[in-house]
Amino acid sequence: MIELIPAIDMIDGKCVRLTKGDYSTMKVYNEDPVEIAKEFEAYGIRRLHLVDLDGAKSKHVVNYRMLDRIASRTSLIIDFGGGIKSDEDLVIAFENGAQMVTVGSIASQKPDLFLKWLKQYGSEKIILGADSKDGRISVNGWQEESSQELLPYLKEYVKQGVRKVLCTDVHKDGMLQGPSIDLYRQILEAQPNLYLMASGGVSSLDDIVELDKAGLPAVIIGKALYEGRFTLKELTALLP
């Protein structure tokens, strides 16, 4: 069964969602992300994808205190992303309770530093954030596009030891119009051993079932849950 990973995106310590990464579309869903994390845990969720949107914009980790609060008040396995640009940022994330980190922009812009982290912390702790827009890698909170094509980019990093990838189709993010299943199939055909986390576009439980049928190991769930397209009870009924 596909692993269900709800997301909490943070701005100013609040749980928010954006559409296509556009900060002007921000909608606040809860003033205290700890409440949401505790609710996830109460329904049997084990993993959490925690995103520091302030960090992604500021290019350094900002919401580490909220990471610490969630990590200290739940037993969720947290992967943390957004604004991890330096050794110091990485240490801050791990010291405040992240078991894994998702690193995107640095992998694209400073591959030597990313590979140093991959070697130092291992492929279980370092997740490659490979966010895609029109088949190319997007960086810095999706504010910038690179010239790097997604599939060759992933192929090279898998050669270097990457085992976990979180891939968001930016065009799908927050749109509630279904995930990019064909894109994920292409990735898994090229890299069948990859632990690939699909992100963006999930609008219904049927979307999750389809991703499971396509062989996706995991899915990130965000706006559909917050907008009431399905309940936590309905979602966790899919758990084995």
Going residue by residue through the chain, which has 240 residues, state the pLDDT in tens, using 9 for 90 and above: 999 999 999 999 999 998 878 899 999 999 999 999 999 999 999 999 999 999 988 989 999 999 999 999 999 999 999 999 999 999 999 999 999 999 998 999 999 999 999 999 999 999 999 988 888 888 755 555 667 999 999 999 999 999 999 999 887 877 789 999 999 999 999 999 999 999 999 999 999 999 999 999 999 999 999 999 999 999 999 988
Q: In this structure, what DSSP letter does residue 169 have?
A: B
User: Would you put residue 225 in left (φ > 0), alpha (ψ -120 to 50) or beta?
Assistant: alpha
Task: For the chain, give every domain's residue range.
Answer: 3-235
Active-site pick, 52, 89, 131, 207: 131
Q: What is the CATH number of domain 3-235?
A: 3.20.20.70
Core vs surface per residue 89-105: b (16+ CB within 10 A) or e: bbebbbebbbbbbbbbb
The β-bridge relationship of strands 164-168 and 144-149 is unpaired
C-alpha count within 13 angstroms, C-beta hemisphere, residue 27: 11
- Give the Å distances, CA to CA, from 75 to 46, 48, 121: 8, 10, 21
CA atoms of 160 and 28, how far apart (whole Å): 39
Listed residue (80, 212, 103) closest to 157, CA to CA: 103
Cβ–Cβ < 8 Å for 214, 181? yes
Cβ–Cβ < 8 Å for 49, 76? no
Active-site pick, 9, 52, 79, 89: 9
CA atoms of 109 and 72, how far apart (whole Å): 33
Catalytic, 9? Answer yes
- Around Cβ 38, how many Cβ atoms within 10 Å? 14
Catalytic, 131? Answer yes
Instruction: Reduce the DSSP state of residue 36 to 3 states and report it.
Output: helix
pTM, two decimals, is 0.94
